[in-house]
């Protein structure tokens, strides 16, 4: 009935039409899936301004940036000293593991320890890198204030209530925690001595 | 290519658990269709395509649309603003919105041509009466879905069109006011109306999917009519639906998409017929636009409504004009199906199509005394057509019908 030449032409037409149809279907899918990407006005809400002088010494506030919670901690000199002496217990003491835990201005070992442009003000994303809960602020070292909820060599920092991750007072994750990384540091800069622009 | 797939082991596995092979054979590859179907038979599959398009574009629009008549700064409303946001801020939002608005009008273009085919070739006659009736149900649900959807942008035409139509129901004696209030959720069209119309607009097309399934099932039991209107018995008069009509339908889809895409990309407003000018103005419940008219596809019934002085009579006539469609299979008593062989019916049915166009024109244009009379005459012919049908066989000399094709 149909000879070989006919059949190969038929096959060619099938493949050509089918291939073109697949390309057309893919091209049609692009606007629909694309429409699910953040809209222009959502993207415009990408920066937050904050006046750090409103945070008292030793105090932590939680603000919002891109819908996420952000810790701003005004660390005292004593609290900064709590950053030494426990390097072996940190998973990533120099914040080198992934891009999100470091910023270009961390160019000295000291900057990598303090994890802040101005050491007294730590600004990090308040989302535990395990599954996203907001960790509890437990700044004083030892068990005096926190009891058994922290280990006996507690250097001060954060403790996540959901699955028990621990971070030091530079938000660096401590060994034994389910969380894989330090709390993320987002791009920010000081537009004046006290105003920080996050994002 | 389909037969290659059907020979694979994977297909055998699926077939054992679903009966897929029997379904494919009975509905596609061994489903007999007349070999003489013309392009007027493409509109059914096109209607299904447009339904799917509307549902998909609708689902993506709902990701951003907000059905709230609450006021925002600047004198607008949340709903109106959300539509403008879709047009301006959402990636490809403009495209999806235009596809949906143009698709609504194209749905009616396709369905009216599909109905016209049915009326001309006698596809509503036995044994396809129930198929036709299910089709009329589909038309009514489509009109409902379109009406509910039109309120959603909350423009001037949306608001006032909904006000007029919900007030219509008040004309029904005894229960009218209650029905109006039930529809509106209040004393006037407002936020409750918007929210429930949104819910119903989402529901109706999904109901349609089920009812269209019933429509196709009813068709597959009695099989398609053909342009000659004769019953086909000989196997050489039939061809399998797949591959002949699947490819012809695919070709029809390609031509349709050409027109559709031209409109969506280059002229989505269609001169104010597809997207009305007044609807770019946010709804203002204290100011009626100079000229209220429904969207073009509802205008024939609007004319019928306006042709009567009495509000109740107008509503009754409008209802009757839709209701009488259900009776068509039983009113037409001719032994011959297709208008090709019925000279009187052929003229009458073509005049009917022209009549509906005239009704539409009158409904869309501002009333003048002349147009009012034209509308009334057109309304009269609309009903006359149906009323005359039972008497036609007495007078009509049908042409001899062919034996086969």
> pLDDT tens, position by position, for chain A (199 residues)?
556 667 888 889 889 988 998 999 999 999 999 999 989 888 776 788 899 999 999 999 999 988 889 999 999 999 999 999 899 999 999 999 999 999 999 999 999 999 999 999 999 999 999 999 999 999 999 999 999 999 989 999 999 999 999 999 999 999 999 999 999 999 999 999 999 999 8
pLDDT tens profile A164-194: 999 999 999 999 999 999 999 999 999 999 9
Question: Please, what's the b/e burial string for B248-287 (b: 16 or more CB within 10 A of its CB; e: otherwise)?
Answer: bbeebbeebbeebeebbeeebbeeeebbbebbeebbeeee
B92 vs A32: CB contact, 8 Å cut-off? Answer: yes
Q: B268-285: per-residue pLDDT in tens?
A: 999 888 999 889 999 998
Yes or no: say if B30 and B222 are a contact pair by the CB < 8 Å rule: no
Q: ipTM value of the model?
A: 0.82
B residues 151-170 lying closer than 8 A (beta carbon) to A: none
Give the integer Cα–Cα distance in Å for A166 and B329.
78
Residues 6+ apart with CB under 8 A from A17: none
- The 3-state DSSP class for residue B313 equals helix
How many C-beta atoms lie closer than 10 Å to residue B326's C-beta? 16
Question: Residue B315 and residue B294: Cα distance in Å, rounded?
Answer: 15
What is the pLDDT averaged over residues B193-208? 97
- In the block, tokens 């396809």 appear at B128
Question: What is the pTM for the complete model shown?
Answer: 0.84
The mean pLDDT value for B144-168 works out to 94
The contacts of residue B289 (CB under 8 Å, 6+ apart) are B156, B157, B160, B278, B281
Name the residue facing A34 among B63, B89, B92 (closest C-beta).
B92
User: Class of the B293-405 domain?
Assistant: mainly alpha
How far is residue B324's CA from residue B133's CA, in Å, rounded to a whole number? 11
Q: Say yes or no: B264 contacts chain A, CB-CB below 8 A.
A: no
Predicted local confidence at residue A1, as pLDDT: 55
A41 → chain B, closest CA residue = B89
Both tokens assigned to B319: 């209802």
pLDDT confidence of residue B224: 96
Range from B31-40, B60-69, B166-175, B243-252 carrying the lowest mean pLDDT: B166-175
**Rounded alpha-carbon distances, angstroms, from residue A94 to A149, A160, B43:** 26, 21, 68
Q: Is B64 on the interface with A (CB under 8 A)?
A: yes
Instruction: Point out the catalytic residue in the list A130, A159, A163, A181.
Output: A163
Q: What is the pLDDT of residues B330-371, one digit of tens each?
A: 999 999 999 999 999 999 999 999 999 999 999 998 889 999
Contact with chain A for residue B9, Cβ under 8 A: no
Got the DSSP string for B261-293? HHHHHH-TTGGGTSS-GGGGSBP-TT---S---
Task: Give alpha helix (H) positions in B223-268.
Answer: 241-266
The answer, yes or no, to whether residue B184 has pLDDT greater than 60, is: yes
Query: Which tokens belong to B185?
Result: 């959720």
At the topology level of CATH, where does B37-289 sit? Cytochrome Bc1 Complex; Chain C (1.20.810)
Closest residue, chain B, to A11 (C-alpha): B1
Question: B130 near B157, Cβ under 8 Å?
Answer: no
Q: What mean pLDDT do residues B83-97 have?
A: 96
| Extents of the domains making up chain B | 37-289, 293-405
Give percent of chain B with pLDDT exceeding 90: 87
Q: Which of A44-48, B37-41, B61-65, B354-358 has the lowest mean pLDDT?
A: A44-48
Instruction: Flag whether pLDDT at B173 surpasses 70.
Output: yes
Query: Which residues in A lie closer than 8 A to residue B95 (C-beta atoms)?
Result: 31
Please list, in sequence order, all residues whose beta carbon lies within 8 angstroms of the beta carbon of residue B351, skipping any fewer than 6 positions away.
B381, B385
A163 a catalytic residue: yes
pLDDT value, residue A5: 66
Q: What is the pLDDT of residue B345?
A: 96
According to the model, what pLDDT value does residue B197 have? Answer: 97
Residue B221 has pLDDT above 90, yes or no: yes
Of B1, B90, B96, the CB nearest to A39: B90
What DSSP element (H or E) covers A119?
Answer: none
User: Which pLDDT score is estimated for A3?
Assistant: 62
Report the residue of chain B nearest A14, measured CA to CA.
B1
The CA distance from A126 to A34, in Å, is 30
**Torsion, Cα of B370, B376, B382, B386 (10° steps):** -150
Name the residue facing A39 among B1, B91, B96 (closest C-beta): B91
Distance of CA B280 to the CA centre of its chain: 25
A32 contact residues in B (CB cutoff 8 A): 56, 60, 92, 96
């Amino acid at each position: 009935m149909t000879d070989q030449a006919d059949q190969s032409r038929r096959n060619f037409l099938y493949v050509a039409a089918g291939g073109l149809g697949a390309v057309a279907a893919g091209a049609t899918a692009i606007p629909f899936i694309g429409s699910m990407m953040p809209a222009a006005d959502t993207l415009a809400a990408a920066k937050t301004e904050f006046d750090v002088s409103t945070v008292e010494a030793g105090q932590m506030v939680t603000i919002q940036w891109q819908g996420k919670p952000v810790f701003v901690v005004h660390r005292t000199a004593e609290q900064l000293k709590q950053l030494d002496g426990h390097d072996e217990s940190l998973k990533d003491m120099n914040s080198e593991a992934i891009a999100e835990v470091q910023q270009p201005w961390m160019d000295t070992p000291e900057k990598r320890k303090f994890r802040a442009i101005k050491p007294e003000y730590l600004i990090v994303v308040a989302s535990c890198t395990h599954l996203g809960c907001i960790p509890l602020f437990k700044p004083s070292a030892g068990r005096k204030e926190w009891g058994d909820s922290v280990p006996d060599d507690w250097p001060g920092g954060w403790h996540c209530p959901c699955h028990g991750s621990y971070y030091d007072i530079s938000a660096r994750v401590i060994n034994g925690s389910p969380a894989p990384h330090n709390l993320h540091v987002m791009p920010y800069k000081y537009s004046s001595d006290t105003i920080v622009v996050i994002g | 290519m389909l037969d290659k797939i059907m020979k694979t082991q994977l297909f055998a596995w699926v077939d054992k658990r679903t009966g897929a092979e029997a379904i494919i054979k009975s509905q596609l590859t061994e489903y007999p269709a007349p070999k003489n179907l013309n392009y007027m038979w493409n509109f059914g599959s096109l209607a299904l395509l447009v339904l799917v398009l509307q549902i998909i574009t609708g689902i993506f629009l709902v990701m951003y649309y907000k059905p709230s008549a609450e006021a925002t700064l600047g004198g607008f409303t949340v709903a109106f603003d959300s539509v403008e946001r879709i047009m301006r801020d959402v990636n490809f939002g403009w495209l999806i919105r235009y596809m949906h608005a143009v698709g609504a009008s194209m749905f009616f273009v396709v369905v009216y041509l599909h109905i016209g085919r049915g009326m001309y070739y006698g596809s509503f006659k036995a044994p396809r009466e129930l198929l036709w009736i299910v089709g009329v149900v589909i038309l009514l649900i489509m009109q409902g879905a379109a009406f509910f959807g039109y309120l959603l942008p909350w423009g001037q035409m949306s608001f006032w069109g909904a006000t007029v139509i919900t007030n219509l129901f008040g004309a029904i004696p005894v229960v009218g006011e209650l029905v109006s209030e039930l529809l509106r959720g209040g004393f006037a069209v407002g936020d409750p109306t918007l929210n429930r119309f949104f819910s119903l607009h989402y529901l109706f097309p999904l109901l349609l999917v089920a009812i269209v399934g019933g429509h196709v099932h009813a068709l597959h039991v009695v099989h398609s009519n053909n342009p000659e209107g004769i019953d086909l018995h000989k196997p050489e008069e039939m061809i399998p639906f797949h591959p002949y009509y699947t490819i012809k339908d695919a070709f029809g889809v390609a031509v349709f998409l050409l027109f559709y895409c031209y409109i969506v990309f280059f002229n989505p407003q269609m001169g104010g017929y597809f997207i009305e000018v007044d609807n770019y103005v946010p709804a203002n419940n204290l100011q009626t636009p100079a000229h209220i008219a429904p969207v073009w596809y509802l205008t024939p019934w609007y004319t019928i409504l306006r042709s009567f002085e009495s509000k109740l009579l107008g509503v009754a006539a409008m209802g009757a004009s839709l209701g009488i469609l259900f009776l068509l299979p039983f009113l037409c008593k001719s032994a011959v199906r297709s208008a090709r062989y019925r000279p009187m019916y052929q003229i009458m049915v073509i005049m009917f199509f022209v009549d509906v166009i005239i009704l539409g024109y009158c409904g869309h244009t501002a009333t003048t005394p002349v147009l009012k009379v034209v509308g009334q005459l057109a309304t009269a012919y609309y009903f006359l057509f149906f009323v005359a049908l039972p008497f036609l066989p007495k007078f009509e000399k049908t042409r001899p019908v062919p034996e086969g094709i």
